[in-house]
Amino acid sequence: MRGARLIVLVTAALALSWTPAVAQRHGGSAFIQGPIEAGLRAGRDFENHAWSVGGQIRLPVADRVHLQPSADVFLPRHDKAGWQANGDAAIDFGPGKTVYGGGGIAFVHFAGDKTRTGYNLFFGLIPSQPDAAWKPFAEFRWTFVHDTSPFRLAVGFNRRLGG
């Protein structure tokens, strides 16, 4: 549980306090192709009956492609907390880049179990302009691990950190 709290705290700190000057410096690198975004989210894992809280960072690597690492802590009603860390990539599409979809690797740890590796498939909606500083979103995610594929809905926001 201590590791999961640390993941959420570090992501929150990045999302809320990273200066635009640092983000602009990274945005000018050969790897990062635009402004970096970081944000917080909360959601519901419907199969495991658990609420979640976490965060993510969006790193644009091409015009409509970004890396999207994320982490969440799961808070089930009748069990100990667990966590999930993701290494995802996504493609933006739709008018004004308001829809995205992608997938990636998942590391999942539920109470009393060992950490398992699987993969994610997801799509999301961003109902804001591409150049907005604050972007709310809703994300629909399936994580395939250990013969299960729980569905999770998450809502949150991303904040542009520069560029």
CATH number of the domain that 59 lies in? 2.40.160.20
> What is the number of alpha carbons within 13 Å of residue 61 lying toward its C-beta?
11
Tokens read off for 134? 């604050």
Tokens read off for 161? 């950190």
Q: Which domain holds residue 146?
A: 2-160
* Residue 130 CB coordination number (10 Å): 13
Model pTM score:
0.78
Give the total number of structural domains in the chain: 1
The tens-digit pLDDT sequence of the chain (163 residues) is 455 454 545 444 544 444 444 444 444 556 788 899 999 999 999 988 899 999 999 999 998 999 999 999 999 888 889 999 999 999 999 888 899 999 999 999 987 788 999 999 999 999 998 889 999 999 999 999 988 788 999 999 999 997 5
Instruction: Note whether 115 and 121 are within 8 A (CB).
Output: no
